[in-house]
Amino acid sequence: MSLLAHVHEEHEGDVPVAVIEGEIDASNSELVGSRLRALLSNRSSALIVDLGPTAYLDSAGINLLFALGAELGQRQQRLLLVVPEGSPLGRAIAITGLDQAVPTHATRAAALEQV
């Protein structure tokens, strides 16, 4: 994985949670996407991506999350994002409409309630 981003795998019961630390941009979005997809099995109902520790997300990262949300929807699975209040990513996510395409929550607990 690129030194710009680290994807930490956690689990909340049967739900995989990917905590992304660092930056997601054109140089590593493909690797980050592969790592996120690898967390899912055919039995997974959802994937939570925690962007709390993510410092930067460019258009390649936003496109990755749009595409991943669509892919999971086609497989009857859900993508949920955690974007804490005051996160520097919140504005970009709102401007691009990502928060309208993919459920976005301020806390992991709130995301888990929707699984």
The boundaries of the domain holding residue 19 are 5-113
Overall domain count for the chain: 1
**H-state helical runs in 1-115:** 29-38, 59-74, 90-96, 98-101, 108-113
- Give the CATH number, domain containing residue 26: 3.30.750.24
Predicted pLDDT of residue 2? 45
Q: What is the mean pLDDT of residues 13-37?
A: 96
Q: What is the pLDDT of residues 81-106, one digit of tens each?
A: 999 999 999 999 999 999 999 999 99
Q: How many residues does this entry show for the chain?
A: 115
Q: In the chain, how long is the greatest CA-to-CA distance?
A: 34
Residue 77, Cα to own-chain centre: how many angstroms? 13
Q: So what's the pLDDT on residue 42?
A: 87
Mean pLDDT of the region 16-24: 97
